[in-house]
Structure 1
């Protein structure tokens, strides 16, 4: 392939990648809608409200029926549901958790207005977002840098550090230092999330290790192609389907669920649980991140076995002894 053909191929490939990125990032945002979204409905008129929801938006909500308002609040605080509609005397009231998803909280508020028949339904924010970031915009924006920096670190370690031990040391260093520094910026300087600093830093460090480890591990196990596979997976699938600015149940199926199985989506869910819900609902995303971290170390082990024969010194051939 001459220079002209190579230039044309690179240009076409870059254009295809651009189109793929537009689809990956714009398509989920253009199709935000509730899909089996967990909410609660309670009170004497619960049956009527459930029927109205099913008629207006079939398949949009997965409705549970707690015994009373206190149980509905507990379900919100435990991250079992995103919000609740409480019926009784007068128009229905809405319980939301803007910390869990400002997008869902806004939708539930609108539903409450429709059910009440008035311009403003009574809304109670049970678990509120941080006052410095009431719409969750900055929270959603911080997930992408965590993933991108992890990809960059993985690429650098994969290309510049030749030994498996050096790669592992670089990953550990990036995880510890990156977690501490990122939370110092996010929590200490910008005050975007509440919660215990060291725990949040550990979460950020685990995310950094998982993302960069996927890149480094695959490159060690299968070569440079692994860098592209891991990086594109995190960038084109992990980030747009992380639901950091919405909720997994608002994304097209099955991509919302798939996004939670990748580090960016698990990171967003785990950070929300630790920062706003005292760890409620943290076990699932924590397990995902731990599995990715263990997989990274396993791939590094595979890479060590793969490169060992090439790194072993050749045995000197015996010198024949001649006798005169």
Structure 2
């Protein structure tokens, strides 16, 4: 005999409360990750260089370590030219150059305008009342001096890639059209988005084809992850993909700041998620001729390959699951 309706309601009410508590806890975690890098940026093991003759360079490095324990990961180099070359290779965010006239700061705002601004402000007291000279070795694009356009233009790529992956699962049920859709989307997204960001909006410099390849790889990784999980798990897989690709990956990506400005260990975690890796790769191609983007490219390639493999598995439909309009029109994959 079926249970009375009244006996089935309390578990549903409890489940609703449990879901609300879980979402609020997630919210309490995400809000600080969005706010902290903007309101109270605090570096953690930020790679910087101290350049100059010995023993002055080592003495200044010790001074930085004592003043801000845990803030910097310091490498010493013999002169400014060597330090500038390292900045162009994206080995550090900035270099403190120690010379006879005091300390000068060399930055690479292309790597992070937020870090460059933070270090510029923090080092002014080192001049003994005189402004510390600042040289931007790798500046941001003239059309986007504060880097806001880069971060604002990159995040919609994640949103549309999420939507693309979900649509492929919800509209198409055959693996052939899904795979073809992913390939077409990644190719077109890379070429068009790079053209918009570089030639129309003017917020990124660099080689167009390299930027297009970076964006194409990121969009493929994001869309394939959602489509792959959806192909294997159905709609719950799409929701899980949205969680991985956007909801969690977005605040951990540090697109508008730097991973080292996030609370530990979230900055490092974010670089293993698609949005963080994608932003790192695009910065590398746009400002550093690809330097420093190798790991990010491998991470994105891994997401893309796993996602494509999951799509290729093709989840079997339940006997009672109706075919979509597109399914009825497609005779073969």
Most deviating of 77-86 and 219-228: 219-228
What residue in structure 2 maps to residue 315 of structure 1?
none
Deviation at residue 114 of structure 1 after TM alignment: 2.1
Check conservation: 2:111, 2:283, Cα contact below 8 A: yes
What is the distance in 2 between the residues matched to 1:223 and 1:308?
9
Q: Could you say if the C-alpha distance between residues 22 and 119 of structure 1 is closer, same or farther in structure 2, counting changes exceeding 3 Å? A: farther
Superposed CA offset, 1:115-165 (max 9, x none):
222252100000000111111111111221111111111111111111111
Matched, 1:42 2:48: no
Matched, 1:20 2:9: no
Superposed CA offset, 1:206-239 (max 9, x none):
1111111111101111222111111012222211
Q: Map 1:150-299 onto structure 2 (within 5 A).
A: 150-299=161-310
What is the distance in 1 between the residues matched to 2:154 and 2:31?
14
State which of 128, 131, 149 in structure 2 corresponds to 1:120.
131
What is the distance in 1 between the residues matched to 2:92 and 2:243?
32
Q: Could you say if the C-alpha distance between residues 294 and 104 of structure 1 is closer, same or farther in structure 2, counting changes exceeding 3 Å? A: same
Aligned to 1:92, the other structure's residue is in SS state strand
Aligned to 2:251, the other structure's residue is in SS state coil
What residue in structure 1 maps to residue 89 of structure 2?
78
What is the distance in 1 between the residues matched to 2:92 and 2:258?
12
Deviation at residue 113 of structure 1 after TM alignment: 1.0
Aligned to 1:143, the other structure's residue is in SS state helix
What is the distance in 2 between the residues matched to 1:173 and 1:225?
25
What residue in structure 2 maps to residue 29 of structure 1?
35
What is the distance in 2 between the residues matched to 1:46 and 1:271?
33
With structure 1 as the length reference, what TM-score do the two structures score? 0.88
Superposed CA offset, 1:194-215 (max 9, x none):
1122221221121111111111
State which of 153, 156, 169 in structure 2 corresponds to 1:145.
156
Deviation at residue 13 of structure 1 after TM alignment: 4.3
After TM superposition, where is structure 1 displaced by more than 4 Å over at least 4 residues in a row?
1-16
Check conservation: 2:230, 2:237, Cα contact below 8 A: yes
Unmatched segments (≥5 aa) in structure 1? 311-324
Q: Could you say if the C-alpha distance between residues 22 and 169 of structure 1 is closer, same or farther in structure 2, counting changes exceeding 3 Å? A: farther
Most deviating of 22-31 and 242-251: 22-31
Q: Could you say if the C-alpha distance between residues 14 and 200 of structure 1 is closer, same or farther in structure 2, counting changes exceeding 3 Å? A: farther
What is the distance in 2 between the residues matched to 1:135 and 1:161?
42
CA RMSD of aligned residues (A): 2.5
State which of 82, 90, 107 in structure 2 corresponds to 1:96.
107
What residue in structure 1 maps to residue 328 of structure 2?
none
Size of the alignment, in residue pairs?
Answer: 309
With structure 2 as the length reference, what TM-score do the two structures score? 0.85
Check conservation: 1:21, 1:236, Cα contact below 8 A: no
Superposed CA offset, 1:282-313 (max 9, x none):
211111111111011111133x2x42897xxx
What is the distance in 2 between the residues matched to 1:76 and 1:70?
10
Deviation at residue 85 of structure 1 after TM alignment: 0.4
Deviation at residue 27 of structure 1 after TM alignment: 2.9
State which of 52, 58, 61 in structure 1 corresponds to 2:63.
52
Deviation at residue 48 of structure 1 after TM alignment: 2.6
What is the distance in 2 between the residues matched to 1:104 and 1:7?
47
Check conservation: 2:97, 2:103, Cα contact below 8 A: yes
What is the distance in 1 between the residues matched to 2:156 and 2:31?
15
